[in-house]
Structure 1
Amino acid sequence: MSILISETFTSLQGEGKLTGVPSWFVRLSGCNLRCTWCDTPYASWNPEGTKRTIEELADEAHKSGVRHAVVTGGEPMIFKELPELCAKLRDKGMHVTIETAGTVYPGEWQNLECDLMSISPKLANSTPSRTDERDPLGVWHDRHEERRLNLSVLRRLASDFTDIQVKFVVSSQGDLAEIEGLLSELPGVEPGDVMLMPEGTKPPESGTTDWVVRACIERGWRYCRRLHIDLFGDTRGT
């Protein structure tokens, strides 16, 4: 069985609970959303890649010398091969993280295995404009807005997996009300599993994220940085 892969690389996990942990990454190419600020357009707006077998990928992960594997995208959950890929990685002794927007979870998947389910629900700030030059047909504003939140999927992910994190990309204080409204619909999500990550492909300037820090302290949430941006900049393969 093969799957379309944008890239694989070994680096440090840059986001979330496992920030700084040496990890092998596999980026699946293809996405059902089109975030306006997407930092991996080569896996979403203009998906590119090569077909690789699951066995080949599992062997590469094992040979990387690290024990954490991160399956990212794009959107991994749109690929029917995902359960087999994760199972093969765990057979190799890897700790597996799946990074998803939480909009898709096929009902027939009763055996999806992962050690950390990293969910990043997309807020209204992610919706592209109707005049986005990357969308000459003008279809993705409505399509993205219709798809970006799926409460039944979010609830199922939060209940099916023991270890989760819920990351929100924030761009203004107005995002907080939307986040609180969404979390009120997800009672199984603990405050310590919620993370706020300032939007951007550069380290934030001093003082510009003070409101994010305050929001995290007041609500018991976590501040999520992008370590890979700090270390390597907005660079592929990091």
Structure 2
Amino acid sequence: MKKTLRITEIFYSLQGETRTAGLPTVFVRLTGCPLRCQYCDTAYAFSGGELMTLDAIVEQVAGYTPRYICVTGGEPLAQANCIALLKRLCDAGYQVSLETSGALDVSAVDPRVSKVLDLKTPGSAEVARNRYENIALLTPNDQVKFVICSREDYDWAVSKLIQFGLDARVGEVLMSPSHHELSARSLAEWIIADNLPVRLQMQLHKILWNDEPGH
């Protein structure tokens, strides 16, 4: 039996965040997520979707002739066959990133994939779901992301940055202001004042397209 995944959408756009922000990228959005972060902007991916074989997914992706692929969700790792898809995409020669909540085990992810692990802050309402064992599995090819909702979230994120030596472990530590909850300027000023070894990211897709589905 051919391996399948439930897919919400496959689309071509600019990457809005992470180290490849601004680069044309194909997004493969898997359906389903065990978390319910209070600021989630992709709740439409919690259910529904279309069952597709890995062959069909790879064929559709190839139609865009992309260089970069982002496998996202939902929570992609909630579907076991995500691991096989990631390997297939790497074998095809693409630069592949995986956006994951960090609540699920990342140990089986192909090392060629850049894992973008979102450590959940207290303001997310899902901080208890962080699987800290994942941090030891991260490499300079990977990235850690914090979505900051408040000054309290920022202070918590700084404590985790220091506790786990994240800036020395991964290629990028990213901080984003939670849309409509914290101004980007405030976050920028805190980062500058503390001289943090992190990158502020602004979610380019929301600036360009107001985060309409398909971008």
Could you say what secondary structure the match of 1:184 adopts? helix
State the partner residue of 1:98.
98
Unaligned residue ranges in structure 1 (runs of 5+): 128-143
State the partner residue of 1:222.
199
State the partner residue of 2:187.
212
State the partner residue of 2:55.
55
Whether the 8 Å CA contact 1:192–1:220 is kept in 2: the answer is: no
CA apart distance, 1:32: 1.6
Aligned residues with identical type, % of pairs:
30
Could you say what secondary structure the match of 2:151 adopts? coil
Whether the 8 Å CA contact 1:62–1:92 is kept in 2: the answer is: no
State the partner residue of 1:173.
151
CA apart distance, 1:100: 0.6
- Superposed CA deviations along residues 67-116 of structure 1, whole A, max 9, x for unmatched, are 11100011112221122101111222211100111111166x2x624431
Residue correspondence of structure 1 range 1-16 to structure 2 within 5 A: 1-16=3-18
Whether the 8 Å CA contact 1:61–1:89 is kept in 2: the answer is: no
State the partner residue of 1:125.
123
Question: In the alignment, residue 102 of structure 1 is paired with which amino acid?
Answer: G
Residue correspondence of structure 1 range 58-207 to structure 2 within 5 A: 58-105=58-105, 109=108, 112-127=110-125, 144-147=126-129, 149-156=130-137, 158=138, 161-190=139-168, 193-200=172-179
Q: Which segment drifts farther, 188-197 or 225-234? A: 188-197
State the partner residue of 1:132.
none
Could you say what secondary structure the match of 1:196 adopts? strand
Distance 2:180 2:43 in 1: 13
Unaligned residue ranges in structure 2 (runs of 5+): none
Distance 1:188 1:212 in 2: 19
CA apart distance, 1:211: 2.3
Whether the 8 Å CA contact 2:77–2:83 is kept in 1: the answer is: no
Closer, same or farther: CA 3–212 of 1 in aligned 2, 3 Å: same
Whether the 8 Å CA contact 2:27–2:70 is kept in 1: the answer is: yes
Distance 2:155 2:37 in 1: 20
State the partner residue of 2:35.
33
- Superposed CA deviations along residues 16-55 of structure 1, whole A, max 9, x for unmatched, are 11001110000011112101110000123xx220100111
Closer, same or farther: CA 43–122 of 1 in aligned 2, 3 Å: same
State the partner residue of 1:235.
212
Could you say what secondary structure the match of 1:105 adopts? coil
Distance 1:20 1:213 in 2: 20
Question: In the alignment, residue 186 of structure 2 is paired with which amino acid?
Answer: W
Q: Given the two structures, how large is their TM-score scaled by the length of structure 1? A: 0.81
State the partner residue of 2:22.
20
Could you say what secondary structure the match of 1:153 adopts? helix
Q: Given the two structures, how large is their TM-score scaled by the length of structure 2? A: 0.89
Distance 1:235 1:201 in 2: 16
Whether the 8 Å CA contact 1:192–1:222 is kept in 2: the answer is: no
